[in-house]
Structure 1
Amino acid sequence: MKYMLLIYQDEIALTETEREECYKESIQLAHDLKANGQYLAASPLQPTALATRVRVREGKQLITDGPFAETREQLGGYYLVDVNDLDEAIRIAVRIPMARKGTVEIRPVIEIQGLPTA
């Protein structure tokens, strides 16, 4: 089963040194998951200041700069994994470095037939 592990954090919670260490740990985790056949994708996201929101209402495009919601924690990255069950996804989530300072939300992925594959 595929799970999306969404990483939420305060964008200013880490120093540059802490951020680099977090990236190193995250890269190692991705390699470990790849070796176990669980890795599908992972990536940090650029800051919310670079976000753009798109909505279509009554046929009109509404384009807005900034994040979807103003909150203390922002979506900062993700892992997409293929594991046997939720318990296995939880075991991976607790290994994500930002779980120590932020929050990791685990969401099952709906697999729709007919979508292109990588």
Structure 2
Amino acid sequence: MNQYLISVYQPEGGVPEPEVLEPIMRDVEAVTAELKEAGAWVFAAGLFPPSTATVLRLKDGKDSKDSEVLTTDGPYVEGKEHLGGFTVIRAADLDEALAWGAKVARAITLPVEVRPLQSGTC
């Protein structure tokens, strides 16, 4: 089985009110339970806000063992949406992964991206 990353993108701003968030989280938990029951779930996590990110990059983009690494407050890319969390799944093919991604998108009510993981990297 192949592995796929389902990335969840969320808008800037605060957490929705409990009456909005609680049903969404119930739906997300139901999809997670379905993924686990099907043996497709590998790992999932939510991320803290982009303001907590730290960006590391080589000074002047030089690719050398001696290049200085610069550290700056994140995020790397400014935007109206940011990566808010992710799920790694196992699926037979892209069609199956997209079906799971659609279930996640319906549950979380936010855009998701489905992308295959390269083999040998996990």
Counterpart CA distance in 1 for 2:118 and 2:46 is 22
2:7 match: 6
Counterpart CA distance in 1 for 2:73 and 2:114 is 27
Number of aligned positions between the proteins: 112
Q: How does 1:23-102 map to 2 (within 5 A)?
A: 23-57=25-59, 58=62, 59-96=67-104, 97-98=107-108, 100=109, 102=110
1:109 match: 117
TM-score where L is the length of structure 1: 0.83
Summarize the Cα distance change of 1:20–1:56 in structure 2 as closer, same or farther, 3 Å threshold: farther
User: 1:11, 1:76 within 8 Å by CA — same for their partners in 2?
Assistant: no
CA positional deviation for 1:29: 1.5
Summarize the Cα distance change of 1:60–1:43 in structure 2 as closer, same or farther, 3 Å threshold: same
Compute the RMSD of aligned alpha carbons: 1.9
Determine which structure has more spread, i.e. the larger CA radius of gyration: 2
Counterpart CA distance in 1 for 2:93 and 2:14 is 31
Classify the secondary structure of the residue corresponding to 1:95: helix
TM-score where L is the length of structure 2: 0.80
The answer to which of 15-24 and 79-88 deviates more is 15-24
Summarize the Cα distance change of 1:62–1:110 in structure 2 as closer, same or farther, 3 Å threshold: same
Return 5+ residue gaps in structure 2 as ranges.
Answer: none
The answer to which of 48-57 and 35-44 deviates more is 48-57
1:15 match: 16
